[in-house]
A and B are shown apart, each in its own frame.
Chain A
Amino acid sequence: MSAALDRRALELLPAGPRLVSHDAAVFALREKRDAAGRSEPDFERLRDYAREAKAHALDHLDGNLERFEARATAAGAVVHWAEDAPALNRIVHELLDARGARSVVKSKSMLTEECGLNPYLESRGIEVVDTDLGERIVQLGHEPPSHIIMPAIHRTREDIGALFARELDVPAGETDPARLTEAARRHLRGHFLGADAAITGVNFAVAESGTIVVVTNEGNADLGMSLPPLHIACLGIEKVIPRVADLAVFLRLLARSATGQPISVYTSLVTGPRPGAELHVVLVDNGRTRLLADEQHRRALGCIRCGACLNTCPVYRRAGGYAYGYAIPGPIGAVLAPALGGTDERRGLPLASTLCGSCSAVCPVKIDLHEQLIAWRATDVPRGRRERVLARIAAAVFERPALYRIAGRAARWVWPAVSRRWPGNPASPWLAARALPAHPGASFRERWRACVRGADR
């Protein structure tokens, strides 16, 4: 059982005002999604279409990838293929190194987080500046993003003010979000103007036109794509969709599901490089073909990285992103981790869920997230020897009604002892926050038998 996440939650998001405001801030996004969906009559139909469209796109992914590559290349982009994280990092580094690029501006890309691109480049002497405000905040704080849309949602304005006072020369004690943002604007402008290259993520890649679509609210990706002579766009292979027409559905769902906006501020459809500049597109596998081959789990590749599942998850909101120990937290992270996460501990992430099903209910592409978690529990989630033995014993008892009744009687007999707190009581973790239910007296079947006897004519 993965209690590591439970312990990390306790440590990294301790109970108190921080926990309360984290939960509230993240849930506010869920409420915004609800409001946006309620005021859009097409919302539920869009979700149905999106699910079918993604299923269809994945079924024809090979053809879509080839067509995308051909059209993008014809438009002047250079398309690269990376089998895994090390390959992505190498390709990006080589592109930068060959051009003597030393300073890079980067807009949000969960894929590059997943692959650890920043540390790879930094250890080779390349300055990588994350330009999304939330990403810059966590970068300056030497920590990873804790949410896929709002990277610094776990930080208070006081935290950020203190950070900016240290790093950006903002007066000590400044906590006004507008003034802090202004300071970041000035600071990052210099980086945009001086950058040798820009790295961006890609929200969607359209096969029929060879177009990559990059979406932001801040305009940071567009600044990156407008200024330096080199643009490197990184995407997971599952982002390729066949037609421009499908884009309408996904764009109508993405911002509404993520932040409650009808559309993000900047939606850039990029086909080929800027005149006089270079565009390199890197298609990354990193375990996605493994998921694609899995009948039960390939649906998870339909994810458009909106974050709605995080916002609605009672566990994520009270654990915080860091507790997951994986670049992508929350329900979608737990669904992807067994295939893409790479460690035993991450394979246990599907256990970090009450299976309430709220995630599946908000997913814009209708991925059955909670069912995927149940499925992973039966296959890839590591189960210790003790656990397996216990399950076998319990099942053996439950399969035999007579044994079941005896076990029930035994449990009721030791109940008072187990309910009390004493050192070594295996029920201790439970008892720390709760009492055990009161002694049930008799079992249902004992009462039933008494009832029936009493009613016997």
Chain B
Amino acid sequence: MISPRTAAAALALAVLASGCDLVEVNDRPNPNGPALEDILNNPTEAAIANVAVGVESSARTGLGTYLADVGVIGREYYRISPSDPRLTQDLLGGGSSVLDNNTFYLLTPWISRYRTIRNANTMLVALDANETLPDAETSAARGFAQTWIAYQYLLNLNLTFENGIRFIEPGEDAAGEVVGYDEALDRIAALFDEGAQNLASGSEEFFFETTIGQDVPQTVAGYRQINRALAARVDAYREDWQGVLDALDGSFIDSEAPLTIGAYHVFSTGAGDVQNPFFFALGGGGEGVLAQPGFVDDIEDGDTRISKVEERETARTFDGLTSKFDTDVYETSVSPIPIVRNAELVLLRAEANAQLGDRAAAVQDVNVIRNNASLSDYAGDSLIDEILRQRRYELYAEGHRWIDLRRYDRLGTLPIDREGDDVFRQFPIPETENV
């Protein structure tokens, strides 16, 4: 027989055995990753290196959507999705569709770019707080971060154009007011310049691994060349033609070298890595990218760049859009996506020289591109038209045509494939920006 006393004692013992666990709660950290505070409070070289790698890695997020946006509106191709009508309706202005300010095609790239900026800004704050890294290493890392920040702003500005973008300072919680297109471009150019200076005064090598250079050295100097190449693009957008030529001087431009050398987002099937988000199987009936028929209709005879599209067995029709060709620029699931490459630089130099009245220099560069595509030398007299045409074919599916025609105010020349379609000029600012 168990007495009440024994029973009570047994229960009391059980309580004691489990101890304070029955009333105490421990403050446990998140097991799923390091906290932001950990890195800001303890900005070690290794931690900053990880964040730097994260900047290059996260810059690839949302790229597939970005390329869909600019390429579809720029009538380079149709991005077909059997389960999402908006890629063939909203982006082409089908019926009375307009660009939505709260939908993935805008939010995904916009958010992704600002996330990379946040990561790079976190790097800058951590670099300020770090007391052990040599100045030259800090300077190189700062230049790396600023180059990326500037490039990410540029991509978002490409979407919203005259609606502008917002800038956020390192360490700040919120971005500033919306800045209009011209001022935003000026600030982006200034950021590239500051980044270039920091890279110039930096160490020889970064204290972290970089991945973007292809036949451009993976060094601090190589990064500065990439920075200058992008700065040249910004100057072209600003119509600062002399600025384009000056920036190109510091870049990796080389009309003797393959047109493919440059900076690329790289992909792999390795653990934790991602694959090319704009790679699609050819000839299929599901998700895919059909070349807008004009690409083939307008191409010059003998242009080897016809290989950028692949003929299907039968034409595909989807949502009132028909094409017999798939876009075939990214041939494998790990094909790199260009950030900026030699072909664009040569064409930028041609454009700047043409604008500055140096026809001979411009034609020489245009011919580099034409000859590379097995076309004869240029003999016409509408040089800017020819440069835009070469940009269309040379930089097909790399995200340029819509922006090029917009800056020359030629969006009206783009084809309308279905009755009622529209060619949009720019995306709205996302609703979630509350502006």
A-B interaction: no
Residues of B at under 8 Å CB distance from A? none
